[in-house]
Structure 1
Amino acid sequence: MPSPTGSQPQSPGAAIASPEAEDITADPHLGDETDSAAGDEVAESTSSLTDSIFDYRKIHGRTFQSSRTTEYWAPIDNQQVEGLDITHHFLTLLLDDQLFLAPIGDNPQTVLDVGTGTGVWAIDFADQFPSAEVIGFDISPIQPSWVPPNLRFEIDDAQLPWTYKSSLFDFIHIRNLHGGISDWPALYRHAFRCTRTGGYIEHLEFNIRTLSDLAEPDHIYNRWNALFAEAGERMGRTFQIYDQMQSHILDVGYVDVVAKTYKVPIGGWAADKKLKDVGMYTLLFLDQSLEGFALYMLKNVMGWEYPEIQVLVAQMRQGLRQWKKWQPYYEIKLVYGRKPESSRSAVDA
């Protein structure tokens, strides 16, 4: 069965080797025809909450969120919320029904979920550890009101100075904030200050590039990838944190840093049953999310007209539905590290 490749724990200042994920074995019974009908198978800180947190805007009927420091690039409407929950499902499946990989032990007491989104990870964690106090925060108030009694949600902006006490949390969890943070080293410094001695940080991010070992250089996958990379740099909130997170976590002072990289298929072309299921959920998520991803980035950042965006989205959707022909995939990286017993103080940003 395909498995991730993990780097060995490293001490601060150690050279960082880029971990390679194992290749995905294709299903030998997969037809090589272009399956254009594949879509048919796709079943401010807490103390300074202001009205700006609820400053929603519409782009061609889709709802987006802005805060004092951030205009977030992905929608927060029902369609996108459903996509976030699908993402949680296939990530948990990918990790063999685990919510995290950091060795936090069986009795964490204080846990923070940064950029909690729909709150589904925090809800599942709170259910799994009923004695823990779990906090999830996000700039968007899209979390449910009925939650486990040991969980609370807060409206907050991770880019503002954190108001949590130093050395408070046993575990700080971060996931899928690519394109949302302008100063990643500052965020990690906040996290390091708020992690207790011996506590852990864990960060999971997607490499947003759709990859294929079969597609030509001018394929829609590569054109889409280049546009998003450029748009992220233009707005000053990189989508390339996937490539930087391990070094940043080491730089702020965490030790025993471990990185694991996974190749994740798009569509059901993998031979492995688990990866085949993950791939179909991934296709479902992308198929319904492409327009939401493209609208803000291409219209507001790149200056495209709406008809141009519609054409590109249709081409990308068609390309993804041709998964039998192109065998697309992307990569996910998960990095965790421990705050050492004796550590330098993290400097507040």
Structure 2
Amino acid sequence: MAEDTQPPLAPTLMEADDQVDEGLGSDDDASDTTSLKSSVINFEIENGRRYHSFRKGAYAFPNDDDELDRMDLENHIWLLLLGGNHYIAPLVEPLKILDLGTGTGLWAIEVADKFPSAHVIGSDLSPVQPQLVPPNCEFLVDDFEQEWMWQDNTFDFIHGRLLLASVTDYPKLFQRAFAALKPGGYLEIHDIDPESYSDDGTLTSDSNSVVWGKLFKEGCARAGRAILPLEDYKRLMQDAGFTEVQEMIQKRPHNAWPKNKGLKRLGMARNSWQEANT
């Protein structure tokens, strides 16, 4: 199996699928589908923000409208990073695709449009995806940290983006993905280092962005979901059995200061959202 890794330096409520509970267990020791659906849809509200209720606390970020807007912006930023592509794996007419932690489902929807013959599944803890989707796309309430419901040799492509702060056991995640892929299938992970850096050393250690990144990593580690160092992805994937592992690291500016037009466009996209939400 080959796997491409790209860690760079990115509503109407749906009910849970009736087949999900066997692979998931339940959040509230629910014994039937109705109880599970209720626990999934009754979101948690804390400090004015809305959070998922199924497996509550497993994901660090909200799932309210502001967060969904940010997720869709991330989809745009990653398209810019990948030169307008949704992935870098050399896919040829895949038949079954899994998007882990699909969020708003935008990536899954757009990939389903790209491959109309494929069955694209987006899984997430929050049922915040739209109901109007391509006929070959579906969304499931699922926790990829629990036992997978998928049989071995099921998928041609498994995609995960910005899973940081959501994973307690990366080796197990990669092992499960390896088993769920067909021979010759691909796993592609896109993630970021949340710390900030500068090429010329002008970003000092007491900068707010530098301090925030370090505190974020510290908080994730204390919560049992340590941020995986970028240099560890390739090794852990190889340990899980993947071969021909490719790694691509890119810079992702916070603001529009770079001279390079491509980097400037990236920084402008992120900066415009930050200004609108401060």
TM-score range, shorter chain: 0.7 to 0.9
Conserved? CA contact 2:193–2:230, under 8 Å: yes
- How far the C-alpha of 1:196 sits from its partner, in A, is 0.2
Contact preservation (8 Å) 1:211, 1:221: no
Using a 3 Å threshold, how does the CA distance of structure 1 residues 104 and 20 change in structure 2: closer, same or farther? closer
Q: 1:168 matched to which residue of 2?
A: 154
Is contact 2:156–2:185 with CA below 8 Å preserved after alignment?
A: yes
State how far apart, in whole Å, the 1-side matches of 2:8 and 2:137 are: 36
- For residues 40 and 176 of structure 2, the distance between their equivalents in structure 1, rounded to whole angstroms, comes to 21
Q: Would the aligned equivalents of 2:8 and 2:191 in 1 still touch at CA under 8 Å?
A: no
Contact kept, 8 Å, 1:52 with 1:66, in 2: the verdict is yes
**For residue 235 of structure 2, what is the aligned residue in structure 1?**
247
In structure 1, the residue matched to 2:174 is 188
**Could you tell me how far apart the structure 2 residues matched to 1:243 and 1:183 are?**
16
Query: Does 2:194 correspond to 1:220?
Result: no
Distance (Å, rounded) in 2 between the aligned partners of 1:110 and 1:68? 26
Q: What one-letter code is carried by the residue in structure 1 that aligns with 2:88?
A: L
- Which of residues 47, 54, 78 in structure 1 aligns to 2:21? 47
Work out whether 1:209 is the aligned partner of 2:200.
no
Decide whether aligned partners of structure 1 residues 130 and 181 sit closer, same or farther in structure 2, where only a CA change above 3 A counts. Answer: same
Question: 1:133-148 maps to which residues of 2 (within 5 A)?
Answer: 133-148=119-134
Among all aligned residue pairs of Structure 1 and Structure 2, give the percentage whose two residues are the same amino acid. Answer: 34
* 1:308-323 mapped onto 2 (5 Å cutoff): none
- Of residues 72, 95, 100, the one that matches 1:114 is 100
CA drift of 1:269 comes to 1.1
Instruction: Tell me the CA shift for residue 222 of structure 1.
Output: 2.0
Q: How does 1:56-67 map to 2 (within 5 A)?
A: 56-67=43-54
Q: After the TM superposition, which residues 287-306 of structure 1 pair with which residues of structure 2 at under 5 Å, given as runs?
A: 287=275
2:244 maps to which of 221, 239, 256: 256
- Cα deviation for residue 240 of structure 1 reads 2.9
Output the TM-score relative to the length of structure 2: 0.84
RMSD: 2.3
Q: Name the CA distance, whole Å, in 2 between partners of 1:250 and 1:137.
A: 25
Aligned partners of 2:229 and 2:140: how far apart in 1? 25
Deviations 1:126-182 (A, max 9, x none): 011111111111000010100011101111111110011110100000111100111
Are residues 1:91 and 2:75 paired? Answer: no
Answer with 59-68 or 186-195: which moved more.
59-68
In structure 1, the partner of 2:140 is: 154
Q: Deviations over 1:48-68 (max 9, x none)?
A: 462433352222211111433
Call closer, same or farther: CA 1:151–1:260 in 2, change over 3 Å.
Answer: same
Structure 1 alignment gaps of length 5 or more: 1-8, 11-18, 22-43, 290-316, 318-349
* 1:67–1:139 Cα contact (<8 Å) kept: yes
Identify the residue that residue 81 of structure 1 maps to in structure 2: 68
Secondary structure (helix, strand or coil) at the match of 2:255 reads coil
Q: How does 1:123-138 map to 2 (within 5 A)?
A: 123-138=109-124
Aligned length: 251
Shift, 1:243, TM fit: 3.9
Separation (CA, whole Å) in 2 of partners of 1:286 and 1:245: 29
Larger Rg: 1
Query: What amino acid is aligned across from residue 153 of structure 2 in structure 1?
Result: S
Residue 281 of structure 1 corresponds to which residue in structure 2?
A: 269
Output the TM-score relative to the length of structure 1.
0.67
Instruction: Report what 1:342 is aligned to.
Output: none
Separation in 2 of the partners of 1:74 and 1:20?
Answer: 20
Any idea what the Cα deviations from partners look like across 1:47-104, whole Å, max 9, x if unmatched?
Answer: 3462433352222211111433743211110011001001100110121110000112
Contact kept? 2:8, 2:192, Cα under 8 Å: no
Secondary structure in 2 matching 1:200: strand
